[in-house]
């Protein structure tokens, strides 16, 4: 398969989905009405509820949802061959992915901008909300652990990256200071800072910094801790702002590189049904996380975009459009993994150094078609990868800190102190990274992510049924995602509980750099998390299905799911 053809096919599939299926759902089922007042217009307060141009909102949504998931998942899934991952990315997005993102926006828009916590409380039960919060808490911890581990491996594997990342922090702080404190011109500041960041990446190629993965994981966690406790204008936001341009440049560069160089795939279309990670069903569907469907998107859609949508008809552009763009990003990473190495053996060997290493190598290959030197390309790709991870990590740690305070603050007074809660969450993540086995952590993250998606689809299905609309297009995908993910998590959990005995008997070796005792502890911790996730999801789904099957469409004219406004 030629990589340019793969890219063009995915673009065609995306356009078809957007203009045919998404348009049908938007116009016929949801019946988006440009004249209906959206929460942004109804409750405009200039803060959360703020009508925003659909183009700005599209960029905002895409920036918020595109992280490491669509890049890393497909790279790992190449072990089954490129075809299964390619098909799942395309069809997963076409049938489930965009549906979840778009309906998550619309459920918020039609319910006065309520977010999932409030919606699960109202549509399912008070217990539903608490379970959802607990579920989200574990889910967030897994995101930080999975991403943190990747960052550690990446910075150890590509020594030209660390200087760029440290420089990016300094550049970001500088940008924040200039824009917020000195009121400098935003355009010139941005230009200057992006150029500085690129210079820093170039500088990194001649200033390699070597350290162990463990040290870099600690660095990433310290970075995220600062993001979680410092004022957001000073640290998190300007760094994310400058990062956006670097990631954007990288994506455009990779896309043009594929079209110019159009390398052919070197790994087989299909290898075998079962790889060391597990069998293709259900494991492929949780390994390829955000490229096909992701629960994180539903949280962003319902909390952020739903409250800023100017017109209902913008939801398709913002929700479905950004998900389809992310599908293209996932296809780019499939191309990177499938067309970079001389053979499948070469890919397997590179995978030993971590998926991040594959990304950096492949991306520099694509950029070299544009005449960019491989050293700079590798450093740039490495920096882009770390940025994708680290910007999400700090955001997630911030939210995890808030949810810890929310869940425990009333019972344990010390949990109201943000420095303590952020440190506690960071320590839990560290424990997972230090003791866990990487591929299982990734599977747990993927599993929790897809479960979150299933829960979002279930909320939407209940809302659709109660408002007398066709619910089939969300209900059946929800059932598929739920069964697949629960089976995947249970299989992983059982594996994790079986591993200690094998480790102690010496039948399997602990991961490099770990003692047997640490690996045993790590397996138990990860196993317990897997079962807790399944338990929380089961409680929610059982409650949800009970409501779903007992709910009747509301009388015509009375829009179900509309609550009395608290205003005045």
Please say which residue, 244 or 380, places its beta carbon nearer to another protein. 244
CA dihedral for 512, 514, 518, 520, sign (positive or negative): positive
**Nearest distance in Å: CB 206, another protein:** 29
**Under the rule (CB under 8 A), what is the footprint of another protein?**
43-48, 50, 52, 55-60, 63-64, 114-118, 121, 129, 132-133, 136, 179, 186, 190, 232-233, 237-238, 240-241, 244-245, 299-300, 302-304, 399, 402-403, 406, 566-568
Q: Can the peptide bond before residue 99 be classed as cis, meaning omega within 30 degrees of 0?
A: no
Q: Which is nearer to another protein, 189 or 523 (CB)?
A: 189
Residue 300 beta carbon to another protein: minimum distance, rounded to whole angstroms: 5
Report the candidate in 415, 484, 471, 557 with the shortest Cα–Cα distance to residue 29: 471
- Cα(293)–Cα(497) distance, integer angstroms: 28
Q: How far is the CB of 156 from another protein (least distance, A)?
A: 30
Looking at beta carbons only, is 109 or 356 nearer to another protein?
109
- Comparing CB distances to another protein, the nearer of 9 and 133 is 133
d(CA 405, CA 287): 31
Confirm if 98 and 90 have CB atoms less than 8 A apart: no
Nearer to another protein, 48 or 375 (CB): 48
- Residue whose C-alpha is closest to residue 406's, from 60, 132, 174: 132
| Between 136 and 289, CB nearer to another protein | 136
Question: What are φ and ψ of residue 50, in 5° steps?
Answer: -150, 110
Closest approach of another protein to the CB of residue 108, in Å:
10
Q: Tell me how many helices (H) and strands (E) the chain has.
A: 24, 2
Nearer to another protein, 91 or 180 (CB): 180
Checking 346-350 for CB contacts under 8 A at 24+ apart, the result is 346/266, 347/78, 347/266, 347/267, 348/79
- What is the C-alpha to C-alpha distance for residues 489 and 531, in angstroms, rounded to an integer? 8
Nearer to another protein, 105 or 356 (CB): 105
190 vs 443, beta carbon nearer another protein: 190
Tell the smallest beta-carbon distance from residue 200 to another protein (Å). Answer: 19
Cβ atoms of residues 131 and 57 within 8 Å: no
Question: C-alpha distances in angstroms, 332 versus 4, 14, 52, 418?
Answer: 10, 14, 30, 39
| Angle of CA points 546, 550, 556, to nearest 5° | 140
Minimum separation from the CB atom of position 32 to another protein (A): 22
Residues 6 or more apart whose CB falls under 8 angstroms from that of 84 comprise 77, 270, 280, 284
Q: How far is the CB of 60 from another protein (least distance, A)?
A: 5
The least distance separating another protein from the CB of residue 233, rounded to whole angstroms, comes to 6
Q: How far apart are CA 67 and CA 564, in angstroms?
A: 37
User: Which H/E stretch holds residue 279?
Assistant: strand 278-279
Minimum CB distance to another protein smaller for 49 or for 440: 49
Taking the complex as a whole, the smallest distance from the CB of residue 59 to another protein amounts, in Å, to: 3
Tokens of residue 476, six digits: 């059946």
3-class DSSP assignment, residue 451: helix
The nearer residue to another protein, 59 or 468, going by C-beta atoms, is 59
Q: Cβ 458 to another protein, closest distance in Å? A: 15
Least distance to another protein from the beta carbon of 179, Å? Answer: 7
DSSP string, 400-437: HHHHHHHHHTTT-GGGG-HHHHHHHHHHHHHHHHHHS-
């Amino acid at each position: 398969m030629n990589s340019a053809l793969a890219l063009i096919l995915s673009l065609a599939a995306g356009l078809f989905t957007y203009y045919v299926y998404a348009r049908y759902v938007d116009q016929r089922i949801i019946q988006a009405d440009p004249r209906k007042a959206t929460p942004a217009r109804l409750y405009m307060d200039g803060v959360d509820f703020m009508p925003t141009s659909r183009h700005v909102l599209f960029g905002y949504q895409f920036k918020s949802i595109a992280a490491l998931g669509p890049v890393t998942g497909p790279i790992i899934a190449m072990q089954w061959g490129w075809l299964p991952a390619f098909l799942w990315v395309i069809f997963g997005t076409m049938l489930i992915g965009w549906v979840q993102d778009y309906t998550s926006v619309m459920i918020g828009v039609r319910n006065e901008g309520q977010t999932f916590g409030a919606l699960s409380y109202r549509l399912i039960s008070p217990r539903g909300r608490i379970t959802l919060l607990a579920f989200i808490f574990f889910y967030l911890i897994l995101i930080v652990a999975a991403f943190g581990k990747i960052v550690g491996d990446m910075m150890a594997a590509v020594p030209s990256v660390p200087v760029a990342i440290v420089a990016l922090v300094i550049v970001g702080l500088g940008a924040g200071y200039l824009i917020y404190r000195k009121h400098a011109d935003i355009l010139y500041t941005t230009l200057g800072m992006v150029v500085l960041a690129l210079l820093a990446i170039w500088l990194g190629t001649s200033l390699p910094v070597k350290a162990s993965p463990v040290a870099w994981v600690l660095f990433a966690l310290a970075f995220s801790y600062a993001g979680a406790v410092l004022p957001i204008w000073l640290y998190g936001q300007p760094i994310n702002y400058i990062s956006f341009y670097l990631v954007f440049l990288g994506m455009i560069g990779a896309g043009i590189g594929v079209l110019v160089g159009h390398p052919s795939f070197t790994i087989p279309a299909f290898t075998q049904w079962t790889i060391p990670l597990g069998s293709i069903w259900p494991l492929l569907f949780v390994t390829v996380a955000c490229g096909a469907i992701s629960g994180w998107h539903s949280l962003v859609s319902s909390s952020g975009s739903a409250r800023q949508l100017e017109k209902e008809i913008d939801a398709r552009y913002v929700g479905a459009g950004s998900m389809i763009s992310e599908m293209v990003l996932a296809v780019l990473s499939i191309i990177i993994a499938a067309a970079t190495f001389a053979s499948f053996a070469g890919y397997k060997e590179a995978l030993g150094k971590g998926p991040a290493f594959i990304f950096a190598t492949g991306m520099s290959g694509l950029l070299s078609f544009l005449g960019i030197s491989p050293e700079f390309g590798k450093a740039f790709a490495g920096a882009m990868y770390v940025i994708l991870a680290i910007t999400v990590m700090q955001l997630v740690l911030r939210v995890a800190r808030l949810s810890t305070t929310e869940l425990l603050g009333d019972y344990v007074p010390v949990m109201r102190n943000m420095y303590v809660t952020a440190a506690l969450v960071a320590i839990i993540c560290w424990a997972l990274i230090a003791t866990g086995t990487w591929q299982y952590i990734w599977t747990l993250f993927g599993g929790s992510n897809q479960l979150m998606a299933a829960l979002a689809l279930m909320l939407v299905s209940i809302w659709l049924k109660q408002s007398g609309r066709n619910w089939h297009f969300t209900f059946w995908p929800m059932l598929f995602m739920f069964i697949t993910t629960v089976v995947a998590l249970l299989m992983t959990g059982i594996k994790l509980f079986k591993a200690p005995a094998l480790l102690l008997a010496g039948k399997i070796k602990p991961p490099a750099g770990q003692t047997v005792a640490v690996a045993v502890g790590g397996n138990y911790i990860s196993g317990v998390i897997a079962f807790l996730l399944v338990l929380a999801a089961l409680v929610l789904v059982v409650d949800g299905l009970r409501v779903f099957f007992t709910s009747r469409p509301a009388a015509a004219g009375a829009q179900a799911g509309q609550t009395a406004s608290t205003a005045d």
